[in-house]
Amino acid sequence: MKRLTKKIIWFLLPVLLVWAGLEIFYRQVETNYTKKHELIQQNYKKAEILILGSSHSYYGLNPEYFSKNTYNFSNISQSLYFDELLLKKHLDSLQKLKAVVLTIGYFTLSQEDDGLEDRWRKYFYDQQMDLDVPSVSNLDPKKYSLALSRKFNRSVDLVVEYVAEGTIVSHYPNGYGIQDSSDIVANKEEIAHIIARKHENGSLDFKSNRERIERIIALCKAKGVHVFLVQMPAHPAYVEALNPNKWDKIGGLLEEVSDSSNQVHHIDLTRNPAFTENDLRDADHLTNEGAAKCSKLLSDYIDTYLEGN
């Protein structure tokens, strides 16, 4: 027994060393999560507009083009579940906040709280953004080891990226995601169909996410903060490939919610003619130029609404 135990330990020693190395890496190096957590605190006294949401807003709304002081607090694959947790945590500290922008995609309202895809992110929210994430159990070993929460090859890729570029943070200080021409997909129509299939989970059950939006609105209303529910521009092929009934149901729900209060506004840019194919980098994300256009448009909308009050 002792002989076998010794052999196993020797055999697994390299694995344990690599694991320890990766754990140190994740604990020492700045990530999107630690950086956003640090930046939101720096924005406590100045941010007037706060952008939440997924990659649609991360790559689609650049605070630089907003007339008011804006911070982009969205993140890749950030669901409403985390939008709510983040807002709850920071809302009271954001002293000048006037508006919250929440982007709603085709998949947002039917998204499960703890879906399989990108499950690793919840551990980073928990550990690196100081959130008390209810879906992370205290008995879950990944709560205590970020290296265990990510796939090994992704961690290695990040280490390589860090060595090559000196950082793995992929956004500007205003929270807007860094992208360039290499991210633009050549055949957008083809990718639109693939992404559409990926985003279709077949569910029309919006109950829990509707309640979540209503809770976000209630939080903001209590602080006198306006909520802008924005459907971002998307490729026509992507829009058409998805269930029209679901689109209608999403639009209907957002209209209904916005009608309930003059502090809630619904802006649907999905089929907005101002956005051409050149403004899109793929099926449902904007290029830097598209993001500039969208940000200016949204800024004007927000200014109009806020000044009207």
Residues in contact with other proteins by CB under 8 A are 1, 3-4, 8, 11, 14-15, 116, 141-142, 148, 151-153, 156, 197
Specify the residue, 6 or 45, whose C-beta has the smaller distance to other proteins: 6
Nearer to other proteins, 163 or 222 (CB): 163
Q: How far is the CB of 247 from other proteins (least distance, A)?
A: 20
Task: Tell me whether residue 7 or residue 223 sits nearer to other proteins (CB atom).
Answer: 7
CA angle 125, 286, 54 (to 5 degrees): 20
Output the smallest distance, CB 98 to other proteins, in A.
Answer: 41
Nearest to 296 by CA among 62, 47, 57, 46: 62
Nearer to other proteins, 73 or 107 (CB): 107
Q: What is the DSSP letter of 226?
A: E
Q: How far is the CB of 21 from other proteins (least distance, A)?
A: 13
Query: In the complex with other proteins, which residue's Cβ is closer, 207 or 307?
Result: 207
Q: Is there a contact between 111 and 205 (Cβ–Cβ < 8 Å)?
A: no
Torsion of CA 272, 273, 279, 283, to 10 degrees: 60
What's the closest the beta carbon of residue 113 comes to other proteins, in angstroms?
Answer: 18
Cβ contacts of residue 28 below 8 Å, gap of 6+?
A: none
CA-CA distance, 192 to 284, in Å (whole number)?
8
| 3 vs 207, beta carbon nearer other proteins | 3
Q: Which helix (H) or strand (E) holds 51?
A: strand 49-52
Which one, 154 or 223, has the nearer CB to other proteins?
154
Residue with Cβ nearer other proteins (1 or 222): 1
Q: Which residues contact 39 (CB under 8 A, 6 or more apart)?
A: 71, 173, 175
Shortest Cβ distance from residue 163 to other proteins (Å)? Answer: 17
Q: Which residue has the tokens 């807002």?
A: 87
Helices (H) and strands (E) in the chain, counts: 12, 5
Report the nearest approach of other proteins to the CB of residue 95 (Å).
42
We find the least distance from the C-beta atom of residue 153 to other proteins, in angstroms, to be 5
CA dihedral of residues 168, 146, 58, 209 (deg, nearest 10): 180
Count CB neighbours of 191 within 10 A. Answer: 18
Distance between CA atoms of residues 223 and 96, nearest Å: 10
Task: Please state the closest distance from residue 4 (CB atom) to other proteins, in A.
Answer: 5
